[in-house]
């Protein structure tokens, strides 16, 4: 723990110093105290303000007087006692900023280059030098920079101003140069480059820097937490959407009013709704910050309902890409019918929301969901929303058909199929990939199917059928296992566990397509989602194994393959990935202590296949809890 009790955040204009300190102060509550503005620490400021600060600073007062007032104010603030009960003092602009601002002022007023301006600042501060150095040593200083390049930083500082005079522009240019000089000289304990990042991202970095030295500062601020904020008029479906995201995708579901009121109570604010929308957005952020700190495992949460346009805009500025604003809309007639308290109640609530700018949230929403259709359609939209945040997208790289090592007739079939399906300005498909043993160079004539995965829009189905009819003869007796999905189904996760695994393989690059539409981005399911989904495949495999075993004469090939599938699922939960049937069965045999020859014989011997299926099925059923047949 650091024995310094002052944290000073410095930086040029519009780097966000005041905002960052305000967020931290609100989170710390009574554990932190603001040192206050400079003009609260020297009585001369009142008269200066009355006369006009700009004229005093740039024209009327000698530079020596400006230096005296500034130095006296900085030093008086540094000596101000820490508030009772507080563990930390928060300062807007640390002691190095005194030197930087004086050097920049001298450079403009006396037409000095940066080096001479720095010397002039030290000359002006000579009467205070010992006290300034001592005060600086008592601070833990953090510098916020717009950019690593002072010229870029200057432009960014000025871009936030409504109007800029030549004098102010020159001052900012020199101020940035002096601040960068001090940073290079090691005058700050840490430097944070803002670089246009959201407020929360900068706050999180500040906390990571400060927490090891000052444990009272929380370790993080919403680290990587995705926030879905739902807006819309009354009875549009916001609550239904929030509940679906909770139950299907594991989002914590929070009420905005509760978060604001909880944060207001911590800050002793009696009526948060009497404050400006920007402050309410900050209170909402504080509520989210406290909640996520208490639930550190969170990745995603949902807040509802957005009523205020201005507060929503400020929340977006603070959270950046961590916030997804969703506007759910439905016709007035439909919303009136949904209202359980009657149409008049819906109208009254709509009036309140409209007065707060709720309808204008649609203009800044990331996603607008039309909820005039079925609940199923709403849920698919929400699946897409959740998976867009959870699954990255990749641009698959194609590998030519001739790299698969397939028999010549199958290679010819795929080549002709691709030529006809992708010929012309508008291809019939988005992607084609051989899967299964054919993709791994393990194709075995007479045993293997040719499994092919295709992504194509639904309206292409008939045309694709015509293409297949024209090339089917190339296959001979080989069974074609063709699976076609639309890109929309892939993006909404409306796929079986097996196809989810195919998408995961394509996303990781383990499986390469033989053709892909230029620019196509494909969702890449996370390994954890792939493994979790495979349980469903295991359930179905266990059912199918029993079905085969109960036949008088099981289909040897079908039994072998479904047994291998269940073995693969079991192995995944042992941390072992096996794509091939033979490898999976051999590995599971090792886990179960089964004789090695059994998996090899099971492919050609029905009795061995049944014995192996029973062993794998027993391994699966052993994972189930003991059944209870009588009431406790």
Dump pLDDT digits (tens) for 137-160. Answer: 999 999 999 999 999 999 999 999
C-alpha to C-alpha distance for 25 and 283, rounded to whole angstroms: 12
**Residue 437: is its pLDDT beyond 70?**
yes
Phi, psi of 287 (to 5 degrees): -65, -45
Task: Say whether pLDDT at 2 is over 60.
Answer: no
Helices (H), 460-596: 461-471, 487-492, 497-508, 527-549, 556-572, 581-592
6-210 and 226-390 share one fold = yes
pLDDT over threshold 50, residue 232: yes
Q: State residue 301 phi and psi, 5-degree precision.
A: -145, 160
CB 423 within 8 A of CB 463: no
For residues 585 and 563, what is the distance between their CA atoms, to the nearest angstrom?
8
Q: What is the pLDDT of residue 50?
A: 94
Q: Which residue has the tokens 């006809």?
A: 420
- Residue 1 is predicted with a pLDDT of 44
Q: How many residues does the chain have?
A: 632
Instruction: Say what the pLDDT of residue 632 is.
Output: 61
Q: What is the mean pLDDT of the chain?
A: 94
- Residue entry with tokens 């189904």: 489
Torsion of CA 433, 437, 440, 446, to 10 degrees: -110
Per residue in 111-126, pLDDT (tens digit) is 999 999 999 999 999 9
pLDDT digits (tens, 9 = 90+) for 530-556: 999 999 999 999 999 999 999 978 999
| CATH T-level topology, domain 226-390 | Rossmann fold (3.40.50)
Burial of 356 (0-12, 13-18, 19+ CB in 10 A): middle
What are the Cα distances from residue 440, in Å, to 19, 294, 529, 562?
A: 56, 47, 23, 19
C-alpha to C-alpha distance for 96 and 102, rounded to whole angstroms? 10
Query: Which pLDDT score is estimated for 4?
Result: 79
Question: Tens of pLDDT along 610-622?
Answer: 999 999 999 999 9
Q: Nearest Cα to 89, choosing from 214, 189, 5?
A: 5
> Which fold, 394-525?
Beta Polymerase; domain 2 (3.30.460)
Please give the angle made by the CA atoms of 555, 560 and 564, to the nearest 5 degrees: 150
The yes-or-no verdict on residue 329 having pLDDT over 60 is yes
| Both structure tokens of 137 | 């040593």
Q: Does position 3 have pLDDT exceeding 70, yes or no?
A: no
Extents of the domains making up the chain: 6-210, 226-390, 394-525, 529-621
pLDDT digits (tens, 9 = 90+) for 469-492: 998 888 888 899 999 999 999 999
Give the pLDDT confidence of 35-79 residue by residue, as tens digits.
999 999 999 999 999 999 999 999 999 999 999 999 999 999 999
Question: Side-chain half-sphere of 396: how many Cα atoms within 13 Å?
Answer: 28
Q: How far apart are CA 490 and CA 500, in angstroms?
A: 8
Query: What's the CATH number for 6-210?
Result: 3.40.50.300
pLDDT of residue 229: 98
For the segment 218-224, the average pLDDT, to the nearest whole number, is: 96
Mean pLDDT of 231-254: 97
In percent, how much of the chain has pLDDT > 90? 87
Averaged over 269-294, what is the pLDDT?
97
Instruction: Show the tokens assigned to 11.
Output: 């930086």
Given a contact cutoff of 8 angstroms between Cβ atoms, the answer to whether 323 and 316 are in contact is yes
SS3 142: strand
Report which of residues 425 and 260 the model is more confident about.
260
Number of H helices, E strands in the chain: 27, 16
Cα 227 from Cα 245, distance rounded (Å):
12
Q: Which residue from 183, 87, 108, 170 is spatially nearest to 144, judged by alpha carbons?
A: 183
User: What mean pLDDT comes out for the span 456-470?
Assistant: 94
Q: What was the pLDDT predicted at 84? A: 87
Q: Is the pLDDT of residue 338 over 60?
A: yes
pLDDT digit string (tens) for 555-569? 999 999 999 999 999
pLDDT at residue 596 greater than cutoff 80: no
**Distance in angstroms (rounded) separating the CA atoms of residues 525 and 490:** 10
Three-state secondary structure call for residue 92: strand
């Amino acid at each position: 723990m650091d024995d310094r009790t002052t944290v000073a955040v410095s930086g040029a204009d519009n780097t966000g110093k005041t905002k960052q300190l305000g967020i931290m102060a609100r989170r710390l509550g009574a554990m932190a105290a603001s040192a206050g503005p400079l003009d609260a620490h020297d009585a001369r400021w009142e008269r200066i303000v009355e006369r006009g600060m700009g004229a005093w600073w740039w024209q009327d007062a000698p530079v020596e007087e400006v230096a005296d007032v500034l130095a006296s104010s900085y030093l008086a603030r540094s000596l101000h006692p820490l508030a009772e009960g507080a563990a930390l003092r928060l300062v807007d602009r640390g002691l190095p900023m005194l030197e930087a601002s004086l050097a920049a002022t001298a450079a403009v007023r006396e037409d000095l280059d940066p080096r001479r301006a720095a010397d002039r600042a030290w000359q002006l501060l000579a009467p205070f030098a010992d006290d300034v150095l001592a005060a600086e040593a008592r601070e833990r200083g953090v510098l916020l920079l717009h950019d690593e390049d002072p010229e870029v930083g200057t432009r960014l500082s000025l871009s936030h101003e409504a109007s800029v005079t030549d004098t102010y522009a020159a001052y900012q240019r020199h101020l940035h140069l002096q601040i960068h000089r001090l940073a290079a000289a090691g005058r700050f304990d840490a430097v944070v480059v803002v670089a246009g990042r959201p407020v929360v991202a900068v706050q999180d970095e500040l906390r990571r820097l400060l927490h090891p030295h000052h444990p009272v500062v929380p370790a993080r601020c919403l680290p990587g937490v995705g926030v879905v904020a739902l807006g819309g008029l009354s009875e549009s479906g916001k609550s239904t959407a929030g509940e679906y995201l909770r139950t299907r995708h594991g989002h914590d579901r929070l009420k905005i009013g509760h978060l604001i009121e909880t944060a207001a109570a911590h800050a002793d604010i009696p009526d948060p709704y009497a404050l400006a929308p920007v402050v309410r957005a900050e209170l909402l952020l504080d509520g989210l910050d406290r909640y996520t700190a208490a639930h550190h495992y969170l990745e995603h949460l949902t807040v509802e309902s957005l009523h205020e346009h201005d507060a929503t805009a400020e929340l977006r500025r603070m959270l950046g890409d961590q916030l997804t604003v969703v506007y759910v809309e439905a016709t007035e007639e439909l919303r009136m019918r949904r209202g359980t308290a009657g149409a008049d109640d819906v109208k009254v609530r709509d009036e309140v929301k409209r007065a707060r700018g709720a309808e204008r949230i649609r203009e800044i929403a990331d996603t607008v969901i039309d909820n005039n259709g079925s609940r199923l359609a709403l849920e698919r939209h929400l699946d897409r929303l959740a998976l867009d945040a959870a699954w990255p997208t990749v641009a698959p790289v194609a590998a030519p058909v001739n790299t698969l090592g397939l028999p010549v007739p199958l290679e010819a079939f795929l080549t002709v199929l691709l030529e006809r399906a992708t010929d012309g300005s508008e291809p019939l498909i988005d992607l084609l990939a051989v899967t299964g043993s054919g993709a791994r160079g393990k194709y075995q004539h007479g045993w293997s199917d040719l499994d092919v995965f295709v992504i194509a829009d639904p309206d292409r189905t008939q045309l694709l059928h015509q293409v297949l009819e024209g090339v089917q003869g190339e296959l001979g007796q080989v069974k074609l296992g063709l699976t076609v999905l639309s890109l929309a189904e892939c993006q909404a996760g409306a796929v079986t566990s097996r196809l989810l695994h195919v998408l995961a393989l394509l996303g990781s690059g383990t499986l390469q397509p033989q053709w892909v539409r230029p620019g196509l981005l494909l969702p890449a399911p996370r390994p954890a989602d792939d493994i979790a989904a495979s349980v469903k495949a295991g359930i179905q495999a266990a059912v199918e194994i029993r079905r085969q075993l109960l036949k008088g004469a099981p289909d040897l090939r079908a039994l072998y393959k479904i047994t291998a599938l269940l073995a693969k699922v079991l192995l995944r939960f042992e941390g072992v990935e096996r794509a091939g049937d033979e490898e999976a069965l051999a590995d599971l045999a090792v886990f179960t202590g089964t004789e090695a020859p059994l998996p090899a014989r099971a492919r050609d011997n029905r009795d061995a296949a049944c014995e192996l299926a029973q062993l794998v099925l027993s391994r699966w059923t052993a994972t189930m809890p003991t059944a209870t047949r009588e009431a406790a």
